[in-house]
Amino acid sequence: MNLQKNRDEIFQAVAQATKEAHRSQESVNIIAVTKYVDSSITKDLIKTGIEHIGENRVDKFLEKYEALADQKLTWHLIGSLQRRKVKDIINYLDYFHALDSVKLAEEIQKRATKPIKCFLQVNISREESKHGLLVEEVHSAVQTIKEYEKIELVGIMTMAPFGADVAQLNDIFSKAHALQKELQQLGIPNMPFTELSMGMSGDYKEAIANGSTFVRIGTAFFK
Q: Which residues bind ligand PLP (CB under 6 A)?
A: 33, 35, 56, 78-79, 200-202, 216-219
Three-state SS letters, the chain: CCHHHHHHHHHHHHHHHHHHCCCCHHHCEEEEECCCCCHHHHHHHHHCCCCEEEECCHHHHHHHHHHCCCCCCEEEECCCCCHHHHHHHHHHCCEEEEECCHHHHHHHHHHCCCCEEEEEEECCCCCCCCCCECHHHHHHHHHHHCCCCCEEEEEEECCCCCCCCHHHHHHHHHHHHHHHHHHHHCCCCCCCCCEEECCCCCCHHHHHHCCCCEEEECHHHCC
Minimum CB distance to ligand PLP, residue 188 (Å)? 26
Q: Which is nearer to ligand PLP, 153 or 159 (CB)?
A: 159
Euclidean distance between CA atoms 160 and 182, whole angstroms: 20
Q: Which is nearer to ligand PLP, 97 or 177 (CB)?
A: 97
Minimum CB distance to ligand PLP, residue 187 (Å)? 29
Q: Which is nearer to ligand PLP, 18 or 121 (CB)?
A: 121
Q: Which is nearer to ligand PLP, 36 or 144 (CB)?
A: 36
Provide the pairing of β-strand 151-157 with 29-33. unpaired
Q: Which is nearer to ligand PLP, 148 or 222 (CB)?
A: 222
Minimum CB distance to ligand PLP, residue 223 (Å)? 10
Minimum CB distance to ligand PLP, residue 218 (Å)? 3
Q: Which is nearer to ligand PLP, 48 or 190 (CB)?
A: 48
Residue nearest to ligand PLP (CB): 218
Minimum CB distance to ligand PLP, residue 54 (Å)? 7
Minimum CB distance to ligand PLP, residue 147 (Å)? 27
